[in-house]
Amino acid sequence: MFLLLPFDSLVVNLLGISITVLFTLLLVFIIVPAIFGVSFGIRKVYMKTLLKIFQWATLRIERGAKEKNHPLYKPYVNGIIAKEPTSLEEEIKEIRRSGSGKALDTPEFELSDIFYFCRKGIETIMDDEVTKRFSAEELESWNLLSRTNYNFQYISLRLTVLWGLGVLIRYCFLLPLRIALAFTGISLLVTGTTVVGYLPNGRCKEFLSKHVHLMCYRICVRALTAIITYHDRENRPRNGGICVANHTSPIDVIILASDGYYAMVGQIHGGLMGVIQRAMVKACPHVWFERSEVKDRHLVAKRLTEHVQDKSKLPILIFPEGTCINNTSVMMFKKGSFEIGATVYPVAIKYDPQFGDAFWNSSKYGMVTYLLRMMTSWAIVCSVWYMPPMTRQVSEEILDCLTCLFGPWLLLNSFVLPQPEEDAVQFANRVKSAIARQGGLVDLLWDGGLKREKVKDTFKEEQQKLYSKMIVGNHEDRSRS
């Protein structure tokens, strides 16, 4: 036991020195730039190196698979079966056309109609558009993480060594570094905002609050090794507007907030999140709701409207999908935020899953597991596009009055009346399509809530109605003949 003592102190010394060195490096290379918003470009170099390694690994795997004659598993993002984009009517007519020589425009029932429903049903069993959005996207080439390893069997020693090295680097070097940074960032946020909260309201407080927020978010960004490319920053949201973005994970908030100063909207949580939320609201007016208030849509709308109408208040950040989607598509936007009548600033966020998939599968992983997974990936790489603001098309009520009074005169002079008013749902869809187009995502009309809930019967009833039109009217024709 006595022999251990000198050895013990040596170990302690070494540990002490390495921790000091680590923290100095941390401070100089990461925290100080974060405070001032500059970057050394270390992360970009890191990303380029990783890309080269991945390319090598992919080639190696393909070569190895060919040598051993193993079939290679290639995931396809665009679906695995050929689907015809024809409508119910067209398809059924085609089936009937090939079956009988009867006139096509007489609506009636044919036994062959069932083929349409049958095939459509089986197609959706093999590959459907919705369920695959709720699980992480499959990668086309391996990125040396065992979590994305589908079928990549042992190919070569070098590859395995590389993977092992990767594990070592990620878990023993990057993870502690990131946890230290995250810890620093969060504690600075809580203490900073609480301190700023004690100041009297005024320009000084606003200035400090903005910079405390930005600084802490930047530290958190580095804690995740997030490499973000911002496009079109001149379109950044302004006061009195609503910033709308597609939702992939809670990290979206950190990514957007590190480049702009927003008012957050959300439910008050307990635990650490609650502490952070309560501290933040001391420094600047975020909109937090109690659990009970969330159910009351009118109350929510009222509070948001009040916030938006006050021009001195910050733009609100909202994710209208309501849940995390896996970043291959954009699902239905809930109309609540579009009813308020403020200017909407759409933002498209697209992650590159090659370095680490940011999607939070909340039914599979809890928050802590998710954060650990994020911190043990290589990096989070994403692109953010700020898009030009959009507004709901103007009300026609006044123009209607004018038309009544001056109708004939307007017609005579061939006045072209502007577009009809769109309702919140149409506006939401318009914004959604714009975001989908910009981010290169699939635009879906399905509700993200389908992750957990069953689909509404109204959709089935629509299909039934469409089909009924094809077979009804039978008797009117019969009575004529």
Partner 1 sequence: VSHSQITRLYSRFTSLDKGENGTLSREDFQRIPELAINPLGDRIINAFFPEGEDQVNFRGFMRTLAHFRPIEDNEKSKDQNGPEPLNSRSNKLHFAFRLYDLDKDGKISRDELLQVLRMMVGVNISDEQLGSIADRTIQEADQDGDSAISFAEFVKVLEKVDVEQKMSIRFLH
Cβ nearer to partner 1, comparing 150 with 183: 150
Could you tell me if 132 and 110 are in contact, meaning their C-beta atoms sit under 8 angstroms apart? no
Q: What is the DSSP string of 382-432?
A: EEEEEPPPB-PPPP-HHHHHHHHHHHHHHHHTTPPPPPPPP-HHHHHHHHH
- Shortest separation between residue 473's beta carbon and partner 1, angstroms: 10
Are β-strands 343-352 and 287-289 bridged in parallel, bridged antiparallel, or unpaired? unpaired
- Shortest separation between residue 405's beta carbon and partner 1, angstroms: 43
Cβ nearer to partner 1, comparing 259 with 447: 447
Question: Which residues have CB under 8 Å from 266's CB, separation 6+?
Answer: 277, 287, 288, 289
Cβ nearer to partner 1, comparing 29 with 109: 109
Tell me the residue ranges of DSSP E strands in 212-268.
226-231, 241-245, 263-267
- Shortest separation between residue 118's beta carbon and partner 1, angstroms: 6
Q: Tell me the CA distances in angstroms from 430 to 29, 423, 435, one per residue in order.
A: 43, 11, 9
* 222 C-beta neighbours (distance < 10 Å), count: 25
Look up tokens 């069953």; give the residue.
454
* 411 C-beta neighbours (distance < 10 Å), count: 10
- Shortest separation between residue 148's beta carbon and partner 1, angstroms: 13
- Shortest separation between residue 244's beta carbon and partner 1, angstroms: 24
- Shortest separation between residue 59's beta carbon and partner 1, angstroms: 20
Cβ nearer to partner 1, comparing 12 with 126: 126
- Shortest separation between residue 57's beta carbon and partner 1, angstroms: 21
Cβ nearer to partner 1, comparing 52 with 465: 465
Look up tokens 């946890």; give the residue.
179
- Shortest separation between residue 460's beta carbon and partner 1, angstroms: 4
Cβ nearer to partner 1, comparing 245 with 332: 332
Cβ nearer to partner 1, comparing 85 with 121: 121
Cβ nearer to partner 1, comparing 123 with 396: 123
- Shortest separation between residue 469's beta carbon and partner 1, angstroms: 8
Question: Which residues have CB under 8 Å from 326's CB, separation 6+?
Answer: 132, 133, 134, 135, 136, 137, 248, 359, 361
Look up tokens 């911190």; give the residue.
375
Q: What is the dihedral of CA 398, 402, 404, 408, to 10 degrees?
A: -150
- Shortest separation between residue 417's beta carbon and partner 1, angstroms: 36
- Shortest separation between residue 424's beta carbon and partner 1, angstroms: 23
- Shortest separation between residue 113's beta carbon and partner 1, angstroms: 8
Cβ nearer to partner 1, comparing 74 with 302: 74
Contact residues toward partner 1 (CB under 8 A) are 71, 73-74, 76, 78-82, 95, 98-100, 108-109, 111-132, 135, 150-151, 446, 450, 454-455, 459-465, 467-468, 471-472, 474-475
CA torsion sign, 353 to 358 to 361 to 364? positive
* 404 C-beta neighbours (distance < 10 Å), count: 8
- Give the closest residue to 172 by CA, choosing from 316, 337, 345, 376: 376
Cβ nearer to partner 1, comparing 87 with 468: 468
Cβ nearer to partner 1, comparing 71 with 408: 71
Burial of 336-370, coded b for 16+ CB within 10 Å and e otherwise, reads bbbbbebbbbbbbbbbbbbbbbbbbbbeeeeeeeb
Q: Residue 221 and residue 264: Cα distance in Å, rounded?
A: 17
Q: Residue 300 and residue 323: Cα distance in Å, rounded?
A: 18
Q: Report how far Cα 475 is from the mean position of its chain's Cα atoms.
A: 52
Cβ nearer to partner 1, comparing 369 with 474: 474
Q: Residue 322 and residue 341: Cα distance in Å, rounded?
A: 19
